Structure 1
């Protein structure tokens, strides 16, 4: 799930491709997309997933896009609403469950309509139910920096009560505490945990190993969030398949490498195995391993954003901005 507020189109697509490459999700949710109609469809088609549906943006606000791999899951849309998209998800051989993708309006009076709509969804469905999205609320003042006052405290209490009244369970998270931030100085910097995954007890029991992770923010005001129903397990390096990287072609020394190492006179299959080893070595030594660079930047961003969730420090705000710009350059 990702609120793409503040993301430029080119940076958004580059970051989304990187997230998909690393995590390979079966279902993707994008909220606050701002786009509708033909412009939205052109971008949706570029995402490359076989299944897609969406709630159109209202003017230049809102918008919820849902993508899924039809070869892995069946998605049946049930309700389209300006602030939520509710569908039924079914994996081959498993019982279906309800899924609501949410973008809550910043307007509190409009947001109340969403709470009523979601309550109706709960009453009309007795099985497992998962919700995710930007709720534009926090459960407590501990989930915020830079915004206070009695009105905000009242909102926190009301949102927490609504969660409890509807018997929802916050699935928690790993990673930086806050999912949204804005501001480039200590005086203007604000952050909060506006985005989350929640579920009813039936869903929680069905997927008791589910884990949520806040990924570092790169090109948006909000961080991407990924949920794995089976937990996260690293892929051993020995099991990762060799893949040709299109970025290699852009390197000034790649053509020279090809001329020196390609051989048409030997049997193709054994030659390709040998050539792949040489290419991996060239990638590490000459190309400087762009994937390692990206991994280092993701890790540094996560660390800085974790610190900013706890305390606003000007040098960290400046560093985060530099790292985000560097990541954008690397992804392009």
Structure 2
């Protein structure tokens, strides 16, 4: 990082992607000299770990609008917490640099295992692990549906049979973090001054998915008025062949279901939130026989809403597995989010070998 070539490459990446947070490994700089790099990259805030000997050195640079609280820092990692003032939601992050010496990497592995046992809440882990170990299986043992792992290549720049490519860069997130950032995506960018690639993590990349196709929700069948919508559309008289008649009624049924869902059935998640708020207000207010009846009714209503929500996530998760848990939809929510990230296409490579990201060209 001390060379002009490295600074120029990082500066070019910053100008192109304008990241709110920048993590640098192998800076090989003391804090005083790192301040020069910080000034050149125009980041007002920095937390750094000095290099040891001729190697090492870590730094997290970030903008003024980012609240980052560093909890711990050493030659192998920087651990801290990000806080969103608007939503008052915080999440943990571990910036990792694995020891180049193989037998010393166990220190990092043990640290992550110990941290996992005591840490709660959203947690993101990323960096250069200097190892091809499967983090999900060997270190954290997070369920496959609860992780997002991107393994990127390290190229040793040698020719012929001596050329080696290893997957040593990782981005791992637990279930809570993925639910907090369902649209997360990761890109890798080559840099001319390094044999490593840069990771670019978008926590909220917006992708125009176009108009949503009609989808029948199984939870609608739990409402008695759902059948009324079907009967009304099916009794409509349409002139034409049987196939035209059937198609016309199906089109009308889709339209009627959309209107019915918007005007009557409503947003299930908003209903749950509103019902919980009502219940909380009743519980803290004066208690009477009438209030007790209201509390009983609202609890029953919330349970019914939970059943509908469970049905929703079960359908959207595209899985036949049914979990017998106390109305807990966490698994289905995670599975649906995993499918959404897996099926989304943010960019493609055209015939000329160029990467395109505009929605019309990707579609």
Q: Do they fold alike, i.e. is TM over 0.5? A: yes
Aligned residues of 1:178 and 1:191 also touching (Cα < 8 A): no
1:56 corresponds, among 33, 42, 50, to: 50
In 1, Cα distance between the equivalents of 2:156 and 2:183? Answer: 33
Instruction: Give the Cα separation in 2 of the matches to 1:18 and 1:301.
Output: 19
CA distance in structure 2 between the partners assigned to 1:300 and 1:184 by the alignment: 24
For 1:184, which of 158, 169, 174 is the aligned residue?
Answer: 158
CA shift at 1:207, angstroms? 0.7
Q: Of 3, 20, 29, which residue of structure 2 is paired with 1:26?
A: 20
Q: Shift in Å at residue 117 of structure 1?
A: 1.6
Query: d(CA) in 1 for partners of 2:113 and 2:64?
Result: 29
Cα distance change of structure 1 residues 19 and 300 upon mapping to structure 2, 3 Å threshold: farther
Task: Provide the residue aligned with 1:218 in structure 2.
Answer: 192
From 86, 94, 110, give the equivalent of 1:93: 86
For residue 75 of structure 2, the aligned residue among 70, 82, 86 is: 82
- Which protein has the larger Cα radius of gyration, Structure 1 or Structure 2? 2
Where structure 1 has 5 or more consecutive residues not aligned to the other structure, the ranges are 140-155, 235-298, 303-332
Uncovered stretches (5+) of structure 2, i.e. residues with no partner: 209-351, 356-363
Cα deviation, residue 228, structure 1: 0.4
- Aligned counterparts of 1:189 and 1:170: Cα–Cα separation in 2: 31
Shift of residue 16 of structure 1?
1.5
User: Which stretches of structure 1, 4 residues or longer, exceed 6 Å deviation after superposition?
Assistant: 299-302
Q: In 1, Cα distance between the equivalents of 2:191 and 2:33? A: 25
User: Equivalent residue for 2:138?
Assistant: 162
Report the 3-state secondary structure (helix = DSSP H, G, I; strand = E; otherwise coil) of the residue aligned with 1:133. strand
Alpha-carbon RMSD across the aligned residues, in angstroms, is 2.8
Quote the residue 1:206 is aligned against: 180
Q: How far apart in 1 are the matches of 2:207 and 2:142?
A: 32
Matches within 5 A, 1:10-25: 10-25=4-19
SS class of match (1:179): strand
Report 1 or 2 for greater relative contact order, CA contacts < 8 Å, sequence distance ≥ 6: 1
- The 8 Å contact of residues 135 and 194 in structure 1, kept in 2 or not, is answered as yes
- 2:203 match: 229
| Alignment of 1:114 onto 2:90 | no
Deviations 1:253-289 (A, max 9, x none): xxxxxxxxxxxxxxxxxxxxxxxxxxxxxxxxxxxxx
Secondary structure of the residue aligned to 1:115 is helix
Contact 2:97 2:128 in 1 (8 A): yes
Aligned residue among 25, 33, 36 for 1:39: 33
Query: Aligned equivalents of 2:143 and 2:25: distance in 1?
Result: 24
What TM-score do you get using the length of structure 2 for normalisation? 0.53
* Distance apart, 1:165 and its partner CA: 2.0
User: Structure 1 residues 172 and 124, CA, compared in 2 at 3 Å: closer, same or farther?
Assistant: closer
TM-score norm. by structure 1 comes to: 0.58
What are the residue-to-residue correspondences of 1:169-318 with 2, within 5 Å?
A: 170-173=147-150, 178-231=152-205
Q: Could you tell me whether the CA contact under 8 Å between 2:79 and 2:92 is conserved in 1?
A: yes
CA distance in 1, matches of 2:171, 2:194: 19
Q: Could you say if the C-alpha distance between residues 184 and 82 of structure 1 is closer, same or farther in structure 2, counting changes exceeding 3 Å?
A: closer
> SS at the partner of 2:190?
coil
In 2: Cα distance, 1:52 partner to 1:22 partner:
20
